[in-house]
Amino acid sequence: MEVFEVTGGRQLNGTVRVCGSKNAALPILAATVMAEDVCVIEGVPHLEDVRVMVEILRALGAQVDWQGDTVSVDPRNISSTDVPSHLMRRMRSSVFLMGPLLARFGEVRVSRPGGCVIGQRPIDFHLRGMRALGARIEQSHGYVRCTANRLYGDHITLDYPSVGATENLMMAAVLSDGVTVLENVAREPEIVDLAQFLQRCGARIENAGDGTITVTGVHHLGGARHRVIPDRIVAGTMMIAAAAVGGDVTLERADPHHLGAVIAKIRETGAQVQVERDIIRVTQAEPGRAVDIRTAPYPGFPTDLQAPFMALMTILRGTSVVRESVFEARFKHVDELNRMGANISVDGQTAVVHGVPRLSGATVEASDLRGGAALVVAGLAAEGTTRVEGLHHIDRGYEQLDTHLRDLGADIVRRAV
Ligand code: UD1
Which residues are bridge partners to 289 per DSSP? Answer: 317
Of 49 and 233, the structure prediction assigns the larger pLDDT to 233
Q: Is the same domain home to 11 and 160?
A: no
Clarify whether residues 212 and 243 are in a common domain: no
Q: What pLDDT score was predicted for residue 117?
A: 64
Rounded to two decimals, what is the model's pTM? 0.97
Q: Which amino acid is at 285?
A: A
Q: Are residues 217 and 245 in the same domain?
A: no
Does residue 265 share a domain with residue 362?
yes
Whether residues 241 and 133 fall in one domain: no
Which pLDDT band, with edges at 50, 70 and 90, does 111 fall under? confident
Q: What is the mean pLDDT of the chain?
A: 95
pLDDT tier for residue 91 given thresholds of 50, 70 and 90: confident
Query: Which residue among 212, 227, 242 closes a domain?
Result: 227
- What phi and psi, each to the nearest 5 degrees, are found at residue 349? -100, 20
- pLDDT at position 118, please? 62
Q: Which of 52-56, 84-88, 192-196, 297-301 has the lowest mean pLDDT?
A: 84-88
Domain count, the chain: 2
**Secondary structure of residue 365 in the 3-state scheme:** strand
**Catalytic residue ranges:** 116
pLDDT band at 116 (very low <50, low <70, confident <90, very high): low
Cβ(128) – ligand 1 distance below 6 Å: no
Q: Is the CB of 122 under 6 A from ligand 1?
A: yes
- Please check whether residues 346 and 371 belong to one and the same domain: yes
Residues 381 and 401 occupy one common structural domain? yes
* 203 and 110 share one domain: yes
Q: What is the pLDDT of residues 311-363, one digit of tens each?
A: 999 999 999 999 999 998 899 999 999 999 999 999 999 999 999 999 999 99
Q: What is the mean pLDDT of residues 167-196?
A: 98
| Ligand 1 atom 13 nearest Cα | 163
pLDDT band at 286 (very low <50, low <70, confident <90, very high): confident
With bands split at pLDDT 50, 70 and 90, how would you rate the model's confidence at 21?
very high
| pLDDT at 120 (0 to 100) | 65
**CB of residue 233 inside a 6 A radius of ligand 1:** no
What is the CA(324)–ligand 1 centre distance, in A?
13
Question: How far does residue 363's CA lie from ligand 1's centre (Å)?
Answer: 30
User: Which residue's CA is the closest to the ligand 1 atom numbered 32?
Assistant: 162
Report CA(163)–ligand 1 centroid distance (Å): 6
Closest-CA residue, ligand 1 atom 3, reads: 304
Domain match, 222 and 253 both: no
User: Do residues 165 and 158 lie in contact, with contact meaning Cβ atoms separated by under 8 Å?
Assistant: yes
DSSP codes joined into one string, 70-116: EEEEEGGG----B--HHHHHH-GGGGGGHHHHHHHHSEEEEEPP--B
Ligand 1 atom 1, closest CA? 163
- Do 272 and 139 share a domain, yes or no? no
Ligand 1 within 6 A of CB of 123: yes
Tell which of 227, 255, 284 closes a domain. Answer: 227
250 and 223 both lie in a single domain: no
In CATH, what number is assigned to the domain containing residue 180? 3.65.10.10
> Is pLDDT above 80 for 388?
yes
Give nearest CA residue, ligand 1 atom 29: 162
Burial of 149 (0-12, 13-18, 19+ CB in 10 A): exposed
Query: Is-contact 265 288, C-beta < 8 A?
Result: no
Q: What is the pLDDT of residue 320?
A: 98
At 5 the pLDDT is 98
Q: Which atom of ligand 1 has the smallest separation from the CA of 124?
A: 23
- Among 177, 194, 227, where does a domain finish? 227
Q: Examine the domain organization and report whether 161 and 186 are in the same domain.
A: yes
Q: Which residues form the domain of 151?
A: 22-227
For residue 123, report the distance from its CA to the centre of ligand 1, in Å.
9
